[in-house]
Amino acid sequence: MAIQTPTIEILGNRINAVQPSDVLEIIDQHVASSDNGLLHIITADSLAMVRTTREPDFKKLMDAAELVVPDGAGIIWASKILGIPLPGRVPGVALVSQICENSVKNNQKIFFIGSKPGIATKAAESIKERTKANIVGVEHGYFSSNSEDENAMLQKIADSKADVVFVALGVPRQEEFITKLRKYMNHGVAVGVGGSFDVISGNLPRAPQWMQKCGLEWLFRLYLEPKRFRRMLDLPVFVQKIIHYRLHRQRVKS
Ligand code: UDP
């Protein structure tokens, strides 16, 4: 069931108008009560928004997630254009560190799954050194969907009794994986974190501050990984859809 917070709607998707501190509080509350189901957090960006308009199955996953936080600068931009401004971003990379830092006070157990072999381990080591978080398992993300290996992975996570699971398999695979994890875990929190382990491990640099401030992280990512060009063609589609929605809504009102 969706977590009760202020929300806005972007291209038919609920976005929770929360800040990182709200997310930490929600996680603490959820983890403190047992057997209340797995809480799925989606760190949403504009590409995910466009995907929901094309892929009904992905839209269902988005609707089913208990918390959808505004990760990308595009979502913040859209909220302003639509006259429903969000308080700010909840960037996935920073959220991983913040959740781990916060986990120490309640001794929450953390699991890292995803990214290329070696990357999750490096990311987990770096986080552990900085935060002293209790990381109970680390696995890479290169196994086939709907396979024995995947089932074994889901079981391993459940057996670890993790309270927070970070899943870095990319969109939409991480959301599908977390949906499967619901059958294995009846408590805790799972967060889809895309390429966060690549950044935390130092495998990919994070965009410089000035680019983050200007909302240009996507451009930096494209500069680092030009092969992302194809999927980024959805960025202008997002801008077009938001402007269309705004103009249409104004026409309906006047
Ligand atoms: N990945 C993975 N298994 C796969 C495909 C991808 O673990 O089968 C990882 C990949 O190594 C990277 C992350 O998933 O660390 C995808 O990051 P990306 O930034 O592309 O995610 P998105 O933009 O889709 O959120």
CA of 53 to the centre of ligand 1 (A): 21
166 Cβ inside 6 Å of ligand 1: no
Measured between its terminal Cα atoms, the distance across the chain in Å is: 36
Which residue's CA is minimally distant from atom 10 of ligand 1? 115
Q: Which of 39, 20, 205 is nearest to 99 (CA)?
A: 20
- How many angstroms separate the Cα of 71 from the Cα of each of 144, 156, 193, 200, 224? 27, 28, 10, 16, 19
Query: Going residue by residue through the chain (254 aa), what tens digit of pLDDT does each one get?
Result: 778 899 999 999 999 999 999 999 999 999 998 889 999 999 999 999 999 999 999 999 999 999 999 999 999 999 999 999 999 999 999 999 999 999 999 999 999 999 999 999 999 999 999 999 999 999 999 999 999 999 999 999 999 999 999 999 999 999 999 999 999 999 999 999 999 999 999 999 989 999 988 989 889 999 999 999 999 999 999 999 999 999 987 666 55
CA of 33 to the centre of ligand 1 (A): 31
118 Cβ inside 6 Å of ligand 1: no
Edge-to-edge, what's the strand order for the sheet holding 134-139?
67-70, 39-44, 189-192, 164-168, 109-114, 134-139
Which ligand 1 atom minimizes the distance to the CA of 141?
A: 7
CA distance 58 to 65: 11
CA of 191 to the centre of ligand 1 (A): 14
Check residue 143 and give its pLDDT. Answer: 97
**Could you tell me the pTM of the whole model?**
0.95
Which residue's CA is minimally distant from atom 3 of ligand 1? 141
